[in-house]
Amino acid sequence: DAGVIQSPRHEVTEMGQEVTLRCKPISGHNSLFWYRQTMMRGLELLIYFNNNVPIDDSGMPEDRFSAKMPNASFSTLKIQPSEPRDSAVYFCASLIPLAGGADTQYFGPGTRLTVL
């Protein structure tokens, strides 16, 4: 398995533009998480899905952010319109089981977003 795949790896856009970040989770695992990482705020959970259904979106900053998971193989995080303060690294993660009943989150490489 190729792990969690995110695209693009880097995105530079201008304020006001729409940005779409993509994630292909690890196949066969039912939970997917979107995070944002900045120096100021650290790692923040934005939203997570279970069986393609959004379970907790309390971390989504505002209405400009939306996320979808139309099927088990694909998820998007969209920002419309984007603002400079959205500049961050966005991670997607799959939940996978470990021995002994624990779970772990397997992270993708991230998308570095810069909004000018």
Partner 1 sequence: GEDVEQSLFLSVREGDSSVINCTYTDSSSTYLYWYKQEPGAGLQLLTYIFSNMDMKQDQRLTVLLNKKDKHLSLRIADTQTGDSAIYFCVRTGGGNKLTFGTGTQLKVEL
Q: Which of 13, 20, 31, 114 binds partner 1 (CB under 8 A)?
A: 31
The SS3 assignment for 66 reads strand
Asked if residues 4 and 26 have their Cβ atoms less than 8 Å apart, the reply is yes
Instruction: Tell me if 107 contacts partner 1 by CB under 8 A.
Output: yes
C-alpha–C-alpha distance, residues 89 and 81, integer Å: 17
Instruction: Tell me if 52 contacts partner 1 by CB under 8 A.
Output: no
Binding segment (CB under 8 A) for partner 1, from list 19-27, 63-71, 74-82, 93-101: 93-101
Q: Strand 53-56 vs strand 42-50: parallel, antiparallel, or unpaired?
A: antiparallel
Instruction: Tell me if 80 contacts partner 1 by CB under 8 A.
Output: no
Q: What is the CA radius of gyration of the chain?
A: 14
Instruction: Tell me if 57 contacts partner 1 by CB under 8 A.
Output: no
Q: How far is the CB of 108 from partner 1 (least distance, A)?
A: 6
Q: How far is the CB of 3 from partner 1 (least distance, A)?
A: 9
C-alpha–C-alpha distance, residues 30 and 55, integer Å: 12
Q: Which of 22, 45, 64, 72 binds partner 1 (CB under 8 A)?
A: 45
